[in-house]
């Protein structure tokens, strides 16, 4: 009999309506990293103090009993499809647990530009006049400069303690040595970059690491970061061994900033071919409350 280990996380904080509330997360450990933090942030508010009331593990046979043990305002479950089907009840909301965004590059670049948002298309057309250019590098020295001066500072300044990325040496061995580094220049100065891992078997580039110089916001605001995406797509369109660029994943909430940002580059969404492929997200409001309903309305799957 299946003895899958699941994780439990019960948090408490003041919802955005000012009422003391609780959220119960149940499911795989990946959900603690990718799903639970986002839900808590949106439900309680970005600057709210969140208290962890309980944290433990349980096995798959205990799921229904565990659900009934706790009083909370919102239940978030990330488990395999079969388990979700067994425990779902009326009015539950079920969706995929993660999405990836990709662009097919086995077409000419003009067609890709046509799929971009009007604003992004105009930005690309203007980019060369604004002094932007790019090249690719296989230099180890360039990689470590990019990681230390661009990627790591960008992640730290954007996400603080919640920043998630591969350690320096792991990124070097598993990504850069199997791919390339895009270097973005503005008026001759290297200001941004990205590491793409190349999957030759599937003719795909996995765009993994990105960063701007010193993590400085001005390089995001002036179009440097956007030009990273432009350069990756333009280069890939001219390479016969790349048919698709995978700009990686995000939580499956359509209003999430990451999803909306990448959408402007003409991306399509898909279920990733990894651990999340067989996992589903279930949202349940066990007791009627306006805070949970407002969260669901504002964060559609």
- Please give the Cα distance from 300 to 255 (Å, whole number): 7
Quote the pTM value. 0.84
Enclosing domain of residue 43: 5-98+277-298
Tokens 């998630």 belong to which residue? Answer: 164
104 token code pair: 């097919």
**Residues 211 and 90 grouped into a single domain:** no
The helix (run of H) or strand (run of E) holding residue 228 is helix 224-237
The verdict on 246 and 131 lying in the same domain is: yes
Q: What is the pLDDT of residue 1?
A: 42
Domains of the chain: total: 2
Q: In the chain, what are the helix, strand and coil shares in percent, each to the nearest 5?
A: 40, 30, 30
The secondary element (H helix, E strand) that includes residue 237 is: helix 224-237
Q: What's residue 82's pLDDT? A: 93
Is 294 found in the same domain as 222? no
Domain identity same for 13 and 162: no
My answer on whether 251 and 288 are in the same domain is no
How far apart are the C-alpha atoms of 283 and 94, rounded to whole Å? 6
Q: Three-class SS of residue 119?
A: helix
Q: So what's the pLDDT on residue 124?
A: 94
Cα–Cα dist 122/117, whole Å: 9
> Measured between alpha carbons, how far is 5 from 26 in angstroms, rounded to an integer?
11
- DSSP line for 95-116: EES-EEEEEE-SS-HHHHHHHS
Co-location of 117 and 15 in the same domain: no
Per-residue confidence in pLDDT tens, the chain, 301 aa: 457 889 999 999 998 888 999 999 999 999 998 899 999 999 998 778 999 999 999 988 888 889 989 999 999 999 999 999 999 999 999 999 999 999 999 999 999 999 999 999 999 999 989 999 999 999 999 999 999 999 999 999 987 777 778 899 999 999 999 999 999 999 999 999 999 999 999 999 999 999 999 999 999 899 999 999 999 999 999 999 999 999 988 888 888 888 888 999 999 999 988 888 999 999 999 988 888 989 999 888 8
Give yes or no: residues 15 and 154 share one domain.
Answer: no
The whole-number pLDDT of residue 2 equals 55
- Are residues 240 and 283 part of one domain? no
User: 158 φ, ψ to 5°?
Assistant: -85, -40
Are residues 134 and 56 located together in one domain of the fold? no
């Amino acid at each position: 009999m299946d003895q899958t280990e699941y994780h439990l996380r019960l948090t408490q904080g003041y919802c955005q309506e000012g009422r003391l509330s609780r959220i119960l997360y149940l499911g795989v450990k990946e959900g603690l990293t990718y799903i639970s933090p986002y839900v808590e942030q949106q439900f309680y508010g970005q600057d709210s103090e969140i208290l962890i009331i309980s944290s433990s593990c349980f096995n798959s046979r205990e799921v229904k009993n565990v659900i009934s043990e706790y009083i909370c305002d919102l239940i978030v479950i990330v488990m395999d499809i079969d388990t979700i089907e067994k425990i779902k009840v009326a009015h539950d909301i079920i969706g995929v647990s993660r999405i990836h965004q990709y662009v097919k590059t086995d077409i000419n670049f003009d067609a890709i530009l046509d799929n971009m948002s009007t604003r992004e298309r105009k930005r690309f057309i203007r980019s060369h006049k604004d002094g932007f250019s790019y090249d690719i590098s296989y230099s180890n020295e360039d990689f470590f400069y990019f990681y230390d001066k661009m990627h790591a500072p960008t992640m730290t300044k954007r996400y603080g303690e919640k920043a998630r990325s591969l350690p320096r040496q792991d990124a070097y061995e598993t990504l850069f040595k199997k791919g390339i580094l895009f270097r973005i220049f503005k008026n001759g100065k290297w200001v941004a970059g990205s590491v793409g891992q190349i999957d030759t078997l599937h003719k795909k580039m996995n765009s993994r690491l990105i960063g701007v110089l010193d993590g400085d916001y001005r390089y995001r605001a002036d179009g440097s970061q956007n030009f990273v995406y432009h350069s990756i797509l333009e280069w890939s369109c001219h390479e016969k061994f790349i048919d698709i660029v995978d700009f990686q994943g995000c939580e499956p909430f359509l209003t999430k900033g990451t999803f909306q940002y990448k959408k402007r580059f003409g991306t399509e969404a898909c279920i990733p071919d990894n651990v999340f492929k067989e996992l589903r997200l279930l949202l349940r409001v066990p007791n009627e409350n306006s805070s949970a309903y407002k969260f669901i309305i504002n964060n559609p799957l």
